[in-house]
Amino acid sequence: DDRGVAVLCAPPGTGKTTLVPLVLAGLTGEGPVRRVVVAEPRRIAARAAARRMAWLLGEKPGGRVGFTVRGERAVGPDTVVEVVTTGVLLQRLQRDQELAGVDAVIIDECHERHLDADTVAAFLLDVREAIRPDLRLVAASATTDAEGWARLLGDAPVVEAEGVSHPVEVVWAPPPAPVRPPHGMRVDPALLGHVAAVVRRALAERDGDVLCFLPGVGEISRVAGRLAGVGAEVLQVHGRAPAAVQDAVLAGSSEGRRVV
């Protein structure tokens, strides 16, 4: 509306990350063309969102949709939707507080409270108040404190969307023997061995791929080392993972290919 701010609450799969920016940018055939910046908390999310939006337009990143992350940039003269990490946006705001040429900013996954995201939000609110009252600002998340963000954005309207819920089966798999609690940066090797065993069990008892969350790069590497010969492609994904690995994770499984 005329206030230029909104809070968007929508579950995964509803298009808040990949459809809303295209609509705001006028790339769906409705409304004027606007320059939109989408801030994501992680590089893999930024690159994946840009690829998906470009695919929806029948293009590749670097056309009307592009992305900028640390060490990689795919933006061209026709780019109107640019997906960046919050760290990149923070650096940009420090260089150019006005965000010249940008019509709207979407802070995606705004529930992930970390220093870069909070600082970006504070910067943008100051920019709107002091320099760019015309700058549109959207805070979006699957799960967030909608009322809190609405107050923060000056009594912004809250837009809620519903998605389709899929059944989830919970299978408990406790370690066969007690494990030591984490001490500082150290995790009991017995726990990592048990995680690897559970991954093997999941591959044996279920179809499809396996997504395993671990607390750090070291733990990811050690569990991956225990999964040799599982009959699946084991990919180690973290903040320092090469772009090729991130792309491989999201490439989709071909016939006979399974991914951990």
In the chain the domains, ranked by start, together with CATH numbers, are 5-160 (3.40.50.300), 168-260 (no CATH)
Identify the CA nearest to 143 among candidates 156, 160, 157: 160
Contact in structure between 53 and 22 (CB atoms under 8 Å): yes
Contacts for 19 with CB less than 8 Å, ≥ 6 apart: 28, 56
Q: What is the C-alpha to C-alpha distance for residues 71 and 73, in angstroms, rounded to an integer?
A: 7
Is the pLDDT reported for residue 99 higher than 60? yes
pLDDT of residue 63: 95
Is the pLDDT reported for residue 221 higher than 70? yes
pLDDT of residue 144: 66
What's the whole-number mean pLDDT along residues 9-27? 88
Contact in structure between 81 and 59 (CB atoms under 8 Å): no
pLDDT of residue 254: 67
Whether the predicted model's global pTM rises above the 0.85 cut: no
The string of pLDDT tens digits covering residues 247-257 is 777 776 667 78
pLDDT of residue 1: 57
Identify the CA nearest to 82 among candidates 43, 38, 117: 38
**Structure tokens given for 203:** 């591959």
What's the whole-number mean pLDDT along residues 219-247? 87
Contact in structure between 253 and 259 (CB atoms under 8 Å): yes
Cα–Cα distances in angstroms (integers) from residue 170 to residues 106, 204, 211, 259, in the given order? 34, 17, 14, 21
